[in-house]
């Protein structure tokens, strides 16, 4: 199991975690013991290991690192669960075995999608894309939707859902390879934020009628450039702030966009997927239908072995993942991917 060894000072590094061995314990009454098949690494984890954060859900030094996973039940002391059942839970932790309270887990039905997909396009990231776009963005046919981290777990789905809604989808990503993948997914055009000499102008060129929905996964300079290209009545979804990963503890100082918001009567909304629990089933069903009908493509980036957890997480913060980053354990051998 990986425990938090120290809080990061700026950008997290591998030595912020420590790999420890421990005995596999037995489940208590009405509990289950499960072994990991796939473990998820997600950008939100940066916030949970911030020394500054000090809020209840943060990870303490010496605690097992938090994280979601898809796992197989190996022992059950709960009447509704049997060895061999597959589960998905947000509360698995960076470890191979976990004792869980079944009230906190979702049953994985492999007929809806392959087990790993429950952590990606029919799991938290896909549901984030669905809820943020539909419930906050409220797309209208013909809208221009600009999406940052466009080739990532959330971005891939958001771009394709924008196209399903009849919108023009504009990708922002770090490399031309990622932008080529976005074009493959159906995005109309892409902007490489690293090679652009003037990002505000590049976005203006890609969005000649302005941005109706800005699906912001990054904050930082991409946010600054997009905010200067809003259309009348724009909806700005603040979904993620990953570009701040190396300065999480410092105030986010930069330009202000109150004039742009006022003049365009734009709405800026913070989004958290956990506020949308009542939409999870609908979102999952729609995403699974699209995928099963060949209308939703998705790339997953697998690393193997529990030892890879910190490295896999750091790939996200350094833009090195190609699609949803997961860690696969030896127990996942033979599963449909
Ligand atoms: P992801 O996009 O698969 O991976 C992270 C991506 O962030 C990287 O591949 C990289 O893409 C981009 N990135 C990293 N550093 C950056 C920087 N300095 N500037 C610009 N882009 C940078 O991860 P994900 O799971 O789909 O999450 C995407 C965003 O959604 C995150 O901000 C996450 O916190 C947010 N999210 C929010 C919720 C919620 O409920 N609010 C739920 C899930 C996810 P490039 O190669 O394009 O740079
Ligand atoms: C995320 C970014 C931020 C995320 C959650 C948060 C689930 C915020 C969590 C909190 O403050 O409770 O990607 O994904």
Q: Which of 229, 258, 274 is the last residue of a domain?
A: 274
Question: Does residue 239 sit within a domain?
Answer: yes
Name which residue sits closest to atom 42 of ligand 1, judged by CA: 128
pLDDT in tens, 118-127: 999 999 999 9
Q: What is the pLDDT of residue 9?
A: 92
Q: What is the pLDDT of residue 104?
A: 92
Residues 234 and 153 in one domain: yes
Residues 304 and 210 in one domain: no
Q: Is 220 in the pocket of ligand 1 (CB under 6 A)?
A: yes
Return the sign of the alpha-carbon dihedral for residues 294, 296, 299, 304.
negative
Question: Does residue 199 sit within a domain?
Answer: yes
Name which residue sits closest to atom 1 of ligand 2, judged by CA: 44
Residues 180 and 129 in one domain: yes
Question: Does residue 283 sit within a domain?
Answer: no
List, as one string, the DSSP characters of 278-312: GGHHHHHHHHHHHHHTT-----EEEEESGGGHHHH
pLDDT above 80: residue 193: yes
Residues 113 and 129 in one domain: no
At 234, phi and psi to the nearest 5? -65, 150
Cα separation, 152 vs 315, in Å, equals: 12
Residues 130 and 258 in one domain: yes
Q: How far is the CA of 314 from the centre of ligand 2 (A)?
A: 17
Mean confidence (pLDDT) of the chain:
96
Residues 108 and 130 in one domain: no
Name which residue sits closest to atom 3 of ligand 2, judged by CA: 44
Percent of all residues in the chain with a pLDDT value above 70, rounded to a whole number: 99
Q: Are strands 86-89 and 69-76 parallel, antiparallel or unpaired?
A: antiparallel
Q: List the CATH number of the domain containing 24.
A: 3.90.180.10
Q: What is the pLDDT of residue 327?
A: 98
Q: What is the pLDDT of residue 179?
A: 98
User: Domain of 230?
Assistant: 124-274
Q: Among 273, 270, 266, 176, which residue's Cα sits nearest to residue 216? A: 270
Question: Does residue 141 sit within a domain?
Answer: yes
pLDDT above 60: residue 229: yes
pLDDT in tens, 169-181: 999 999 999 999 9
Question: Does residue 291 sit within a domain?
Answer: no
Residue from 10, 43, 236, 283 whose mutation best tests the ligand 1 pocket (most atoms within 8 A of CB)? 43
Q: What is the pLDDT of residue 53?
A: 63
Q: How far from chain centre, in Å, is Cα 58?
A: 18
Residues 168 and 268 in one domain: yes
Cα separation, 12 vs 59, in Å, equals: 14
Q: List the CATH number of the domain containing 148.
A: 3.40.50.720
Element (H, E) at 96: none
Band of residue 249 on the pLDDT scale cut at 50, 70, 90: confident
Question: Does residue 152 sit within a domain?
Answer: yes
Cα separation, 209 vs 204, in Å, equals: 8
Pocket of ligand 2 (CB under 6 A): 42-44, 47, 240, 272-273
Residue from 49, 52, 57, 272 whose mutation best tests the ligand 2 pocket (most atoms within 8 A of CB)? 272
pLDDT in tens, 56-70: 479 999 999 999 999
Q: How many domains does the chain have?
A: 2
pLDDT in tens, 28-83: 999 999 999 999 999 999 999 998 765 447 999 999 999 999 999 999 999 999 99
Residues 64 and 157 in one domain: no
Ligand minimally distant from the alpha carbon of residue 315: 1
Q: What is the pLDDT of residue 286?
A: 98
pLDDT in tens, 202-215: 999 999 999 999 99
pTM of the complete model: 0.97
């Amino acid at each position: 199991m990986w425990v938090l060894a120290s809080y990061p000072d700026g950008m997290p590094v591998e030595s912020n975690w420590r790999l420890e061995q421990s005995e596999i314990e037995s489940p208590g009454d009405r509990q289950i013991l499960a072994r990991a098949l796939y473990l998820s690494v997600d950008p939100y984890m940066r916030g949970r290991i911030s020394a500054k954060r000090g809020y209840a859900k943060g990870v303490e030094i010496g605690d097992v690192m938090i994280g979601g996973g898809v796992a197989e039940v190996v022992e059950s002391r709960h009447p509704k669960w049997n060895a061999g059942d597959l589960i998905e839970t947000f509360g698995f932790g960076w470890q191979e075995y976990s004792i869980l309270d079944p009230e906190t887990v979702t049953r994985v039905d492999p007929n809806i999608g392959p087990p790993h997909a429950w952590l990606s396009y029919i799991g938290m990231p896909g549901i984030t894309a669905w809820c943020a776009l539909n419930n906050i963005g409220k797309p209208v046919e013909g809208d221009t939707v600009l999406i940052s981290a466009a080739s990532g777990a959330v971005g891939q789905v958001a771009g394709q859902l924008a196209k399903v809604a009849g919108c023009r989808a504009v990708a922002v990503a770090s490399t031309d390879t990622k932008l080529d993948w976005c074009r493959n997914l159906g995005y109309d055009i892409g902007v490489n934020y690293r090679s652009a000499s003037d990002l505000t102008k590049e976005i203006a060129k890609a969005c000649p009628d302005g941005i109706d929905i800005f699906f912001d996964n990054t904050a930082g300079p991409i946010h600054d450039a997009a905010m200067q290209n809003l259309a009348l009545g724009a909806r700005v979804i603040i979904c993620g702030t990953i570009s701040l990963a190396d300065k999480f503890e410092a105030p986010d100082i930069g330009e202000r966009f109150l004039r742009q918001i006022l003049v365009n009567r734009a709405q800026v909304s913070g989004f958290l997927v956990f506020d949308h629990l009542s939409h999870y089933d609908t979102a999952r069903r729609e995403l699974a239908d699209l995928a099963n009908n060949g209308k939703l493509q998705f790339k997953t980036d697998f690393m193997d072995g529990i030892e890879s957890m910190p490295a896999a997480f750091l790939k996200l913060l350094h833009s090195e993942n190609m699609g949803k980053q997961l860690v696969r354990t030896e127990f996942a051998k033979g599963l449909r991917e």
